[in-house]
Amino acid sequence: MKVLISDSISATALSVLRSSRIDFTYKPEISSENLVREIAEYDALIVRSRTKVTREVILPATKLRIIGRAGVGLDNIDLKATAERKVKVVNTPYALTNAVAEFTIGLMIALARQIPKAVSSMRSGKWEKSSITGSELKGKTYGTIGIGRIGARVSELAHAFGMKIMANDVIPIPKDLIDRLGISVASRDQILSEADFVDIHVPLTPETENMIGYREFSLMKKSAFIINTSRGKVINESDLLKALSEKKVAGAALDVFEVEPPNRLELLKSEKVIPTPHIAGQTEEAQNEAGRMVAEQVVEYLKSA
């Protein structure tokens, strides 16, 4: 049995495979052409997000039985093609939750306190002590669109900061969570119009693609911030730029982009935007856990089948 690892992965994952005596090849920079050429040799494939497991990759993969994705979203895998070929797909939905949630809180504070502006001002030799005045999270309204694993963890942290919590989801929100955090269950439009921080934690689906566009930004308070660590295509970037330039919203923090790496320089250079390179889940703890969990699932499946 042979496993191909086609993205960089934690050492923990490699040691799980080694100690299970599973033969593996580690090619974290393999090109898509070479992946298509070589995949026929392998029983399992382990990826993060760089590798795009398209139909072209699945078609020649005649031995492939399982794909492990160290992370949450499965939008880099053609799930229709894997289902047709009866290739099992596993991920590590819980491993990154806390990392993304803490990062989201970090972005909220960075937006509210203008931390990036303060840093670049100091670096240019200035001391703008009186002009950089921020606002606090305490007492503000946090609204999350999507309250699954990450949305719920951010809500817990936001609650600890003394924020009021509003949440919207397409599935019922657990009653104990609502009670524990005093959550106001709301429609998407209510969140957009009432929250001081609009936060997005949904998967990318045909329904969530372009979910936040000009109409939605126009509903937001002029003083409100929007944070997106979910998937870039959930927000319409050109509408965000328009909304920012028309002062319909105060600012945005984006860890994910319509195209990655992003190509909209205007967005990246805007003083009102905090851009980060899809690192919300990138902590040592989360990556070790994701690597360990994905490797264990792949080993278990290969050994049991």
Min separation Cβ 162 and ligand NAD, Å: 23
58 binds ligand NAD (CB under 6 A): no
Q: Are 201 and 151 in contact (CB under 8 A)?
A: yes
Find the binder of ligand NAD among 48, 164, 201, 272 (CB under 6 A). Answer: 201
Residue owning tokens 């799930």: 79
Torsion over CA: 98, 104, 107, 108 (sign): negative
The token duo for 50 is 């760089």
HEC assignment per residue over 119-131: HHHHHCCCCCCCC
Residue type, 134: G
**Pick the catalytic residue: 50, 85, 113, 278?**
278
Beta carbons within 10 angstroms of residue 30's beta carbon: 20
Instruction: Please indicate whether residue 201 is annotated as part of the active site.
Output: no
Examine residue 208 and tell whether it contacts ligand NAD (CB under 6 A). Answer: yes
Q: How far is CA 219 from the centre of its chain?
A: 24
According to CB under 6 A, which residues from 234 to 263 bind ligand NAD? 255-256
Instruction: Considering the complex, state which of residue 49 and residue 121 has its C-beta at the smaller distance from ligand NAD.
Output: 49
Q: Assess 98 for contact with ligand NAD (CB under 6 A).
A: no
| 149 counts as binding ligand NAD under rule CB under 6 A | yes
Judged by CB, which is closer to ligand NAD: 125, or 172? 172
Per the annotation, the verdict on 284 as an active-site residue is no
Question: Should residue 199 be labelled a site residue for ligand NAD when binding is judged by CB under 6 A?
Answer: no
Cα separation of 169 and 179, whole Å?
16
Binding of residue 278 to ligand NAD (CB under 6 A): yes
Nearer to ligand NAD, 203 or 213 (CB): 203
Of 229, 236, 287, 297, which one interacts with ligand NAD (CB under 6 A)?
229
Cis peptide leading into residue 172 (ω within 30°): no
Residue 232 makes contact with ligand NAD by CB under 6 A? no
CB 287 → ligand NAD: shortest distance, Å?
A: 10
Which residues inside 151-180 make contact with ligand NAD, applying CB under 6 A? 151, 168-171
Q: Is 233 in the site for ligand NAD (CB under 6 A)?
A: no
**CB–CB of 151/105 below 8 Å?**
no
Which of the stretches 20-28, 112-120, 139-147, 157-165 binds ligand NAD when contact is defined by CB under 6 A? 139-147
Tell me whether residue 115 or residue 177 sits nearer to ligand NAD (CB atom). Answer: 177
231 is catalytic: yes
Which residues lie closer than 8 Å to 13 by C-beta, 6 or more apart?
Answer: 5, 46, 70, 291, 292, 294, 295
Q: Give me the catalytic one of 194, 231, 237, 292.
A: 231
Which is nearest to 120 in space by CA: 137, 136, 132, 107? 132
Select the residue interacting with ligand NAD from 100, 198, 219, 220 (CB under 6 A).
100
Per CB under 6 A, does 73 bind ligand NAD? yes
Strand partners for 141: 164
**Residues annotated as catalytic (active site), given as ranges:** 231, 260, 278
Q: Which residues bind ligand NAD (CB under 6 A)?
A: 71-73, 93, 96-97, 100, 145-151, 168-171, 201-204, 207-208, 229-231, 255-256, 278, 280-281
